[in-house]
């Protein structure tokens, strides 16, 4: 055990401090918890540094703030007042235009005016040429129209002459009882468009030609007595023809009437007279004669129609008058 202190030798304050130190030494030390790092403080520091960097990089800081900082020496600003005064003086001065430029401008204006007049004259000449060209084109068109009309008239006249010659040759061939196959192509080309039926009739007649003389000769061999009657001799036939031609008495039989009609050249009437007899219509010879007579009568009627068409006058061509010069 330690001996007690002598209170008279040591002051009260020293004793109190000693007692407190002893108490602290006698008390066991408690483990203190580890100190945590303050992240908020570091975040504030970083934010402050970033703000300062952005502020320094801002042009506004360079213009307004940096020159006022005590540790930054302001750069000397140039004096622009004198320059502005000189610029204003130069703007107020008016330099007189040189005489050479004025003369050149006057010459240029004169040349422009003369060029304008020349252009106007050229434009008028071009208009006149266009008008003359239009008149010339109209005259050429009129001449071409007249030439085309003349050619058409000549072609029509040539076709008309060919048609009339073809009809004349057809009529001769029909009268002679000859086949006219060589004339059929021209007949088709000239008349088929307007007279197709007549061309068909002529083609049938060309395939089996027949003449009036043959019809009259075949009709002279017929008799009113019927198919079984004896054929008359030449004297009887001649006498019958003379009686039929000059007497033409009433009450004569159909054959006599047909013979009288053939003597007058009326094939249609002769055929009609034979058709009125029922007994003669059953005769094969009469039927053949009637077929030949009908074919000849139709062919002659077709020739009449074609001849009338060929003789039709051509229409007058339309002539375009030439424009006045």
pTM for this one? 0.47
- How much of the chain exceeds pLDDT 70, in percent? 67
- List pLDDT tens digits, range 128-156: 888 888 888 888 888 888 878 777 777 77
Q: State which of 166-170, 228-232, 309-313 shows the largest mean pLDDT.
A: 166-170
- How much of the chain exceeds pLDDT 90, in percent? 14
Residue 55's φ and ψ, nearest 5 degrees, are -65, -40
CA distance 257 to 223: 11
Other Cβ atoms closer than 10 A to 258:
33
Any residues with CB less than 8 A from the CB of 224 and at least 6 apart, and which? Answer: 252, 253, 254, 255, 256
Other Cβ atoms closer than 10 A to 129:
10
Q: What DSSP string describes 10-56?
A: S-HHHHHHHHHHHHHHHSPPPPPPPPPP-HHHHHHHHHHHHHHHHHH
Q: In the Cβ-directed half-sphere of 131, how many Cα atoms lie within 13 Å?
A: 8
Write down the domain spans for the chain: 163-310
Q: Is residue 173 within 8 Å of 183, Cβ to Cβ?
A: yes
Per-residue tokens: 123: 């434009």
Give the chain's mean pLDDT.
76
Burial of residue 177, with CB atoms counted within 10 A of its CB: 0-12 exposed, 13-18 middle, 19 or more buried: middle
The mean per-residue pLDDT over the stretch 39-45 comes to 81
Nearest to 156 by CA among 305, 314, 309, 311: 314
């Amino acid at each position: 055990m330690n001996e007690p202190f002598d209170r008279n030798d040591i002051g009260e304050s020293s004793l109190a401090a000693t007692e407190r130190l002893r108490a602290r030494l006698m008390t066991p030390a408690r483990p203190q918890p580890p100190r945590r790092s303050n992240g908020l403080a570091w975040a504030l520091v970083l934010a402050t540094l970033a703000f300062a960097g952005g502020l320094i990089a801002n042009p506004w800081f360079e213009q307004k703030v940096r020159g006022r900082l005590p540790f930054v020496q302001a750069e000397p600003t140039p004096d622009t007042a004198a320059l502005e005064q000189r610029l204003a003086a130069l703007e107020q001065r008016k330099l007189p235009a040189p005489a050479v430029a004025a003369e050149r401008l006057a010459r240029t204006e004169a040349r422009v005016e003369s060029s304008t007049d020349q252009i106007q004259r050229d434009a008028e000449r071009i208009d006149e040429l266009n008008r003359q060209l239009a008149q010339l084109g109209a005259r050429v068109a009129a001449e071409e129209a007249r030439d085309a009309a003349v050619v058409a008239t000549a072609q029509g006249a040539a076709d008309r002459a060919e048609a009339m010659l073809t009809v004349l040759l057809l009529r001769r061939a029909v009268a002679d009882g000859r086949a006219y196959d060589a004339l059929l192509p021209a007949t088709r080309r000239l008349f088929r468009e307007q007279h197709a039926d007549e061309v068909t009739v002529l083609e049938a007649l060309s395939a089996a030609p027949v003449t009036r003389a043959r019809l009259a000769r075949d009709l002279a061999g017929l008799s009113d007595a019927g198919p079984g009657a004896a054929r008359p001799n030449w004297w009887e036939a001649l006498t019958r023809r003379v009686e039929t031609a000059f007497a033409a008495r009433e009450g004569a039989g159909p054959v006599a009437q047909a013979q009288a009609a053939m003597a007058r050249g009326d094939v249609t009437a002769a055929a009609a007279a034979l058709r009125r007899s029922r007994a003669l219509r059953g005769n094969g010879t009469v039927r053949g004669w009637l077929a030949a007579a009908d074919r000849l009568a139709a062919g002659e009627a077709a020739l009449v129609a074609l001849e009338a068409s060929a003789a039709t006058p051509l229409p007058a061509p339309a002539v375009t008058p030439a424009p006045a010069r």
